[in-house]
Chain A
């Protein structure tokens, strides 16, 4: 039995910048008016951000600016993959009133609940 060690002549997948996505970290809060979602995507500017809503699914994609960096790389800890995360929304959310704001790499999405779903006081008659 002959086993050969294959040396990878190309770049191994762990090191090339292929289209792998990374999950951005998120914080999700809910209050009586709606949800707030904060997604952390450093390196993503307004032009690189995509927010898509289809049925009840919300997809956030952040394209990082692939700046090669000035000069020679001494060491790198950041990853170069783009960000992507998909969420399933509560049907109570009013899709028309979703607002997005991007500030220093943090995307804040406000997802208000539809009016009829909010708890309301019912007056007692008689």
Chain B
């Protein structure tokens, strides 16, 4: 008599099982993606939240915000306890007095966004640059936050 480990026949003959977990992944992605896109359909919700991208490399955290048509004096960038705030007010360039307004899709007025940074940064060395309507904030990481090689000693 040979002792054979009992194998549950139902599980092994269920080829769709792997595909079900794929389906779950797809559904998860489906829910993740549109919600962030909903955030940028600002005209629907009556406010304006500029789109923000966050990047991180070994040295810096870089935050880019799409803020077209602003004057740099009207943009406020503040850093407080690991949260970067970008706020400001966009002024209408042309006074709409005698002019008839055909389309008004652009938003004017006050906006504010806050981003929690993925790593601690050195507030004194932050640089912000505004070009072609994109505000780029470069935040150098603190020394402790930079990845370090730790030598393993064998005793």
Contacts and interface: CB of A to CB of B under 8 A. Distances in A.
A105 to B, nearest CB: 2
B145 to A, nearest CB: 13
A104 B53 contact: no
Interface of B: 16, 19-20, 22-23, 26, 33, 36, 39-40, 43, 51-58, 60, 62, 64, 66-70, 93-94, 96, 98-107, 118, 130-134
Contact of B22 (A7, A26, A70): A7
B133 A74 contact: no
Nearest to A36: B94
A78 B68 contact: no
Interface in A1-53: 4-5, 7, 14-15, 25-32, 35-36, 38, 40-45
Given A27-B106, A105-B134, A42 B55 contact: no
Contacts, number: 129
In this complex, the interface size class of chain A, counting residues with CB under 8 Å from chain B, is 35 or more
Interface of A: 4-5, 7, 14-15, 25-32, 35-36, 38, 40-45, 65, 69-79, 103-106, 108
The 10 A-B pairs of least Cβ separation, nearest first, read A105-B133, A71-B57, A42-B133, A105-B68, A106-B69, A25-B105, A28-B102, A77-B51, A42-B66, A29-B99
Contact of A106 (B16, B68, B134): B68
Contacts of B100: 29-31
